[in-house]
Amino acid sequence: MSYRSIFLSNNGTNIFTTLGFLKKIHDKVTRTHVWNVCGSSSLIIFLKIVGFNYSQIFEILSDFHLTSTFINGSSLLPENENEKKKYIKEWLIKKLSDSEFFSKDIRLDEAYKKTNLFPNFLLYSRDQKTIVYANPTDTPTFKLVDCVMASLCYIGVYEEYEFSEHIFSNLSSIDCYPYHKRFYEDDEDILFVGNISIFDEEKEKPLLGPLSKKEKMFIRQFSEYEKYQIEKIFEKIENEKVTIYSYYRRGKLSHEEMETLFKMGIEEGDAFEKQSDTGERLESYVKKIESQS
């Protein structure tokens, strides 16, 4: 079965596992038209719109200089949010400018016309206290870059991003799976991908700063909430759905570590295609890696 619509939600390093999963099930998402995204999964549709495949997206993100906070997040150390916003926005704009097909101010409706990819960014408006669905139909004049920036609000990145008379904040603490939303394609053609991050303290890098202990507690609580939330919401979803698992990592990751997360996603994608348990496949793959080290 191929899917006309897909839902992705990412936080932290599980974006690498999601990319591996998508690469493996590529044949099932070649005709995917609507991409519903929140959190760092907005980067996936952004780079797909620019023209990159999943392997290329992995390489681009693995070389990104702010990986330790931009993708991993959850750092309680104070940083200059304005500098980070500026850096990330310039990085996104450069990716658009490097292509001859896109301007830095490209709007959602323009991006859709050029690519036939329909991005649906799920954002949380803190001032209006509601979920905003930013897409080429409902908000055609929203700029692509602004929608990605608003998706990335998170502790350790920046807390808020403001544009179009909204103050946007992190959606995943509200409801990262709005199953009640009527999507833009037939319901039978949608795939929900639930991404659960496993926090393994034994594999965590030690001494990441004076707030390391509190950061670990924050991540553990978020991971437990994320798992509970996805399991409860998936009980209400009658469409096709799959839960994939990833290991949460903080600090600066080596390319080898990111590649391992990517390969975990490939393994789980293979399990999904064979209709076997993704969690069991991941556990088996991790044991194989550990036996070879």
∠ CA 185-187-189, rounded to 5°: 75
Residue 293 within any structural domain of the chain: no
- The better pLDDT of the pair 141, 62 is held by 141
Q: Are 125 and 41 in contact (CB under 8 A)?
A: no
Residue 87 within any structural domain of the chain: yes
Interval 125-133 mean pLDDT: 91
Residue 153 within any structural domain of the chain: yes
Residue 188 within any structural domain of the chain: yes
- 3-class SS of residue 29: coil
Task: Identify the weakest region by mean pLDDT among 51-60, 63-72, 124-133, 219-228.
Answer: 63-72
Q: Are 22 and 29 in contact (CB under 8 A)?
A: yes
Q: Residue 275: which CATH number?
A: 3.40.1090
How does pLDDT run across 13-70, given as a tens digit for each residue? 889 999 999 999 999 999 899 999 988 899 999 999 999 999 999 999 988 766 556 5
Residue 291 within any structural domain of the chain: no
pLDDT of residue 92: 95
Q: Is the pLDDT of residue 174 over 70?
A: no
Residue 125 within any structural domain of the chain: yes
Q: Which domain holds residue 79?
A: 5-286
209 pLDDT band (50/70/90 cuts)? low
Q: What percentage of the chain carries pLDDT values higher than 70?
A: 88
Structure-token match 């919401």, residue found: 233
Strand partners, 56: none
Enclosing H/E stretch for 121 = strand 118-125
pLDDT of residue 60: 92
How does pLDDT run across 58-93, given as a tens digit for each residue? 999 988 766 556 565 667 777 788 888 998 999 999
Interval 236-255 mean pLDDT: 85
Residue 235 within any structural domain of the chain: yes
Number of structural domains, the chain?
1
Residue 292 within any structural domain of the chain: no
pLDDT of residue 175: 61
Write down the mean pLDDT value for the chain. 86
pLDDT of residue 230: 87
